[in-house]
Structure 1
Amino acid sequence: MAPTIDYSAIPGNSHLVTVNEHKKNGEQRAEVILIPAPSDDPDDPLNWTPIRKWVSVACVLIYTLATCIPTAAIYSVLPNIEANTNITLGELNNGTGYMFLFLGIGCLFFQPLALQYGKRPVYLFSTLATALICVWPPYTKSNGEWIASKILQGFVASSVESLPEISMSDLFFEHERSFALSLYGLTLLSASYLAPFVAGFISQGQGWEWVMWWCAIFAAVCFVVLFFLMEETNFDRKLKVDKHTGELLKLTSRKEQLGAVSTTIDGALGQRDQNDEKTDFESNEQGSSSQSSNLPTNALANEVSNIEVVNSSTYVPANLRTKTFWEKLSLFSGKKDKFLLHHYALAPFFMARFPVVLWAGFLYGSSLVWFNVLNATAALILSESPYNFSSSTIGVAYLSPTIFTVIMFFISGFCSDWLKLRIAVWRGTGLSKPEDRLWILVCYCVLGCGSCILWGVGAYYEIHWFGLVFGMGLLGGCGIFAIAAAASYIVDTYKELDTEAMVVMILIRNCMSFGVSYGITDWVTNLGYKNCFISVAFLCFAANLTFLPMVIFGPWLRNRQKHMYWSMVDKYRRLGMH
């Protein structure tokens, strides 16, 4: 059945909870609606067992470590590289700028490949290629060789910028998504900070060349792990609806297959009465009239392209078993039957017409700007008088942003999902908007501005090293707010075309990063630490405060462009892309 898309639906708006039911004691009951709706196929990633899901998550995080650590490991040893080569510190920073640029450009190449042939082969190629390219930088002696090695490294590792977010959205429902994305952000930032920490000791004990060689060994080990454990999450979801009741058919044992999913708002918020859990769950399984189990077909039509009306009394699922271990090792289980690579390559450019996507890219990019300013000045500030940190001690200083990233992860991950659910309840209708998550950026506005001043102005006045390390940690840890907010905003708003939208966001982010990395040395040199970081602080504050206009005008923009968006969805579904 080819369902008709509802063009009047506003992308991103969803009825996330039902608030009109009551428990046996007469209290109001709010039940979470599972979005997107899971199918009755046990190999649907939304239906995977908790162990299977979290193994897949662990593999995505391992891949993130394998590609992120080599890109960040050199930050604490830049002075050592400058001392042992003919490359100046400014040229080294320019090279890392080119790397970040191609981390974005590469998404235009690898993202279509992942959609056409599967995410698993792209993950594996990216990991192996990173391992091989890490062998090259220690042999570079000129600026041209350094830039070439960084461009190639950024290009082959570019999948780390966009595929993990999409894999998380493949595995989790809307009300769980921010926690998973924050977990990815935690790994991304922690790896970026821990790599210089370890690299400082390696450089001091074995020389800076071994920093990259150990990165190559680490990435090679990760490749072996991913080859045997990583599953494909590309899935052609087909929903079955009972023709008599209109209910969506799911797996017969929801409790076993979706044991990790909270099915009530109180349970998701950790406030559910344990005595009512079994009764509420059973009432949902027995066909209650709640929207979570009785979604109308016209609402499902906007979620998925293939809906079949069946007779539940005679219907027999085609797939009653999960894949075997050897089937999971297939490199092309996610391959599309039709060749659509050129359509996948062009689609991101059409998604650039949506202001929501452009703003998410700006938010994500601005967060990376402060990250790059921090990395480019850390070795410079801490190695000079009065601090005189060695390369290993500079590496130890990177433990500070690692610790703060873990702290901010809990604030970002849990509070963002909590806000989305709680605001939907506060509205009284269960309506949820993508902008609901953005209020978490209030923390970034305040903490980001303060930490920039503490780091830069503190260095100018030569305050105690603890103040600098504290400011460094706070500034680095706050980056997780933008990662979770930007990625979840795009996925919540344009879930049907989130992979294409993510490419646009990452391209904007990395172009901004390249621009700042290319000019950061002159910025700091010409303005000095004090004036440079005062400007950085208020730019950080202003950039994050732009979430307020999006909260106000975002719903209007989404409503204004709904016909354009659903026309794209309809076109790509007819082509067989989604």
Structure 2
Amino acid sequence: MDKYTNRDHPDYIPGTFNIYSSQNLENGIIYESKLKKTSSGVVLIPQPSYSPNDPLNWSSWRKFAHFGLMAFITAFTAATSNDAGAAQDSLNEIYGISYDSMNTGAGVLFLGIGWSTLFLAPFANLYGRKITYIVCTTLGLFGALWFALAKRTSDTIWSQLFVGISESCAEAQVQLSLSDIFFQHQLGSVLTVYIMCTSIGTFLGPLIAGYISAFTNFRWVGWVAMIISGGLLITIIFGCEETYFDRGQYMTPLTSCQSGYEDGTTLQNSDNTAVSRRKRHLDVKLSTPGAMGEKGVDLSETAEFEVNNEEEVTIPETRELIDGSKEHLKPYPKRVAILTKATNLKGYGFKQYFKYLKINLRMFLFPPVWLSGMFWGIQDVFLTFYLTTQESAYYEPPWNYSDFGVAIMNVPTLIGAVIGCICAGIVSDYFVLWMARHNRGILEAEFRLYFSIATAIIGPAGLLMFGIGTARQWPWQAIYVGLGFVGFAWGCSGDIAMAYLMDCYPDMVLEGMVCTAIINNTISCIFTFTCSDWLAASGTENTYIALAVINFGITAFALPMYYYGKRIRLWTKRWYLQSVNLRDGV
């Protein structure tokens, strides 16, 4: 069991878990006798501490209250990021603001989402998770107010920048918060709800905004978003509990197993020791990854630790672990504090902030990050295309849809997205556990990629049905089924992308999601500016045929990743350990 839980074990591979191990003997110790498991025998990963303040030990109602708040943040920010279209006609008619300008605003929004995710991420490691939600919600409130008062082209563009920044907390921060309170085997189902909330906001947001604009006026799209943002901000300040918890400082069942812990004994294994912020240097060099059984970082020896022969890393000195069972639950004011300083915060953390930025950018070296970003990003591209097609084609004969009619076209897409989320989330959780049972209890991250087969078939089929059906004026039933297929691929791909990456590098969730968000939203930004020109130059039918081919091609990358994913994880093990140690030693 040790090689599946201890990062310093020479045979450790990130993304490989032993979740059904039964009485394995490792170095003469039967670990499983003390490890915490579910009633069905699934080993809990990570192993929780004994502290009542550990988010993994929260009661069910506290977990689901926090989960519900994260879900609402996700759905609401997705909705506000897609509601500007409901005001486009009014802004054009009243103020002469061109559609190209509003298209530019959409591109700026994507840039705001992706790159603010990067610049806000370090705050989660320095001052707790909560501060990012407060900052993003405040900026979203300001963006909604600006949009409600828009009269100039610059207003429609720059307001979207702040709206985009507000959604950035849902691109990486929410996933980190969820991984703080749920175990590894639960993340697939949890991410299903996350993607469903994103789907609800993305597809129902324009519909709701359309009704608001029709029954009041376009400015109330911004006013309503501002009012809800204000209520959400108050809820976050007084109702959002902090989930930052330095579990490395505490005893867990795993530390007791690995070190034979007895009262008064100091644990010496790196994974079993608390963080003492007095630094000491280590002389260990990481060997080049590439084969099973490579040597990792031996923290029990004293020497110089080198990264790329240049970058020195300091590793925390060991000290006796904290017995969390002797702690009391923090009082309410501390649980909902706006700032929760990290245990390794130095001063105001200014230098650490830039070190964390560098660590985040290191994740671009990991191929699974690119697969995740491409899977998620290309689906957002298709979203841009079919929304553009709806707005340009369905107001005209033979359909002659009203604003409501076009908005209703999001409903089959939402239904498909929900089905896709359930398939790639809840169903995949049962599937990977079934696979693990038939793989001697070993769960590999690549098990989730099986579900990309459905996406590779259904996604392109949906694009073809919608694109060709629109060009040739097929019956609306065929076109709506195509939209449902597109929605299925959107939800399924998003769930696969998130779950696979979180399984591959479980200790670098925030960093991986940051890079995924940058890839995803940069791709979306590029195609936002090229979508209309492509449709005009190639025509609807040829464009969607090309998109279907692109969809299949990108999804097909799951096949080589399935076969070579474990080798890639082994190959990137060195970088992964470096990144984790750099982050924890900052």
Q: Could you state the TM-score of these two structures normalised by the residue count of structure 1?
A: 0.83
Give the letter aligned to residue 461 of structure 2: G
Give the letter aligned to residue 383 of structure 1: Y
Change (3 A) 1:496 1:405: same
**8 A Cα contact 1:18 1:30, kept in partner:** no
Q: Which of 91, 94, 103 does residue 93 from structure 1 map onto?
A: 103
- The residue that corresponds to 2:36 in the other structure is none
How do residues 473-484 of structure 1 correspond to structure 2 at under 5 angstroms?
473-484=484-495
Matching of residue 553 in structure 1 with residue 558 in structure 2: no
Give the letter aligned to residue 329 of structure 2: T
Helix, strand or coil at the partner of 1:98: helix
- The residue that corresponds to 1:384 in the other structure is 396
- The residue that corresponds to 1:346 in the other structure is 358
How do residues 50-89 of structure 1 correspond to structure 2 at under 5 angstroms?
50-89=60-99
Render the CA deviation track for 1:430-453: whole Å, top value 9, x for unaligned.
Answer: 111111111111121111111111
**8 A Cα contact 2:356 2:583, kept in partner:** no
Give the letter aligned to residue 210 of structure 2: G
Matching of residue 234 in structure 1 with residue 241 in structure 2: no
**8 A Cα contact 2:52 2:325, kept in partner:** no
Distance in 2, matches of 1:83 and 1:470, equals 34
Give the letter aligned to residue 532 of structure 2: T
- The residue that corresponds to 1:256 in the other structure is none
**8 A Cα contact 1:241 1:307, kept in partner:** no
Change (3 A) 1:204 1:44: same
- The residue that corresponds to 2:49 in the other structure is 39
Q: CA deviation at 1:405?
A: 2.4
- The residue that corresponds to 1:329 in the other structure is 336
How do residues 74-223 of structure 1 correspond to structure 2 at under 5 angstroms?
74-223=84-233
Render the CA deviation track for 1:250-306: whole Å, top value 9, x for unaligned.
Answer: xxxxxxxxxxxxxxxxxxxxxxxxxxxxxxxxxxxxxxxxxxxxxxxx99999x989
Q: CA deviation at 1:480?
A: 1.6
Give the letter aligned to residue 215 of structure 2: G
- The residue that corresponds to 1:26 in the other structure is none
Give the letter aligned to residue 490 of structure 2: G
Give the letter aligned to residue 332 of structure 1: L
Q: CA deviation at 1:31?
A: 2.4
Distance in 2, matches of 1:385 and 1:241, equals 67
Q: Which of 16, 21, 29 does residue 18 from structure 1 map onto?
A: 21
- The residue that corresponds to 1:360 in the other structure is 372
Helix, strand or coil at the partner of 1:224: helix
Distance in 1, matches of 2:117 and 2:482, equals 33
Q: Which of 482, 486, 491 does residue 497 from structure 2 map onto?
A: 486
Change (3 A) 1:560 1:329: closer
Q: CA deviation at 1:72?
A: 0.9
Matching of residue 495 in structure 1 with residue 506 in structure 2: yes
**8 A Cα contact 1:55 1:229, kept in partner:** no
Q: Higher mean Cα deviation, 319-328 or 356-365?
A: 319-328
Q: CA deviation at 1:128?
A: 2.2
Q: CA deviation at 1:167?
A: 1.2
Distance in 2, matches of 1:573 and 1:418, equals 33
Kindly, what percent of the aligned residue pairs are identical?
Answer: 24
Q: CA deviation at 1:34?
A: 1.0
Give the letter aligned to residue 230 of structure 1: C
**Unaligned runs of at least 5 residues, structure 1:** 23-28, 250-297
Q: Higher mean Cα deviation, 377-386 or 341-350?
A: 377-386
Helix, strand or coil at the partner of 1:32: coil
Helix, strand or coil at the partner of 1:509: helix
- The residue that corresponds to 1:420 in the other structure is 432
Change (3 A) 1:308 1:490: farther
Change (3 A) 1:114 1:568: closer
Distance in 2, matches of 1:146 and 1:62, equals 25
- The residue that corresponds to 1:393 in the other structure is 405
Distance in 2, matches of 1:244 and 1:112, equals 32
Change (3 A) 1:181 1:385: same
**8 A Cα contact 1:239 1:306, kept in partner:** no
Helix, strand or coil at the partner of 1:352: helix
Distance in 2, matches of 1:519 and 1:462, equals 24
Distance in 2, matches of 1:349 and 1:368, equals 22
How many positions carry a matched residue from both structures? Answer: 514
Distance in 1, matches of 2:73 and 2:42, equals 32
Distance in 1, matches of 2:389 and 2:256, equals 66
Give the letter aligned to residue 222 of structure 1: L
Q: Could you state the TM-score of these two structures normalised by the residue count of structure 2?
A: 0.82
Render the CA deviation track for 1:331-389: whole Å, top value 9, x for unaligned.
Answer: 11254432221211111111211112222212221121112222222222222221111
**8 A Cα contact 2:359 2:583, kept in partner:** no
Distance in 2, matches of 1:516 and 1:416, equals 31
Q: Higher mean Cα deviation, 141-150 or 435-444?
A: 141-150
How do residues 242-321 of structure 1 correspond to structure 2 at under 5 angstroms?
246=258, 317=324, 319-321=326-328
- The residue that corresponds to 1:456 in the other structure is 467
Q: CA deviation at 1:4?
A: 7.9
Helix, strand or coil at the partner of 1:466: helix
What RMSD, in angstroms, separates the aligned Cα atoms of the two structures? Answer: 2.9
- The residue that corresponds to 1:465 in the other structure is 476
**8 A Cα contact 1:4 1:301, kept in partner:** no
Helix, strand or coil at the partner of 2:375: helix
- The residue that corresponds to 2:543 in the other structure is 532
Q: Which of 442, 447, 450 does residue 436 from structure 1 map onto?
A: 447
Q: Which of 8, 15, 19 does residue 5 from structure 1 map onto?
A: 8
- The residue that corresponds to 2:309 in the other structure is none
Distance in 2, matches of 1:142 and 1:350, equals 40
Distance in 2, matches of 1:572 and 1:232, equals 20
**8 A Cα contact 1:17 1:30, kept in partner:** no
Q: Higher mean Cα deviation, 113-122 or 391-400?
A: 391-400
Give the letter aligned to residue 33 of structure 1: V
Change (3 A) 1:90 1:6: same
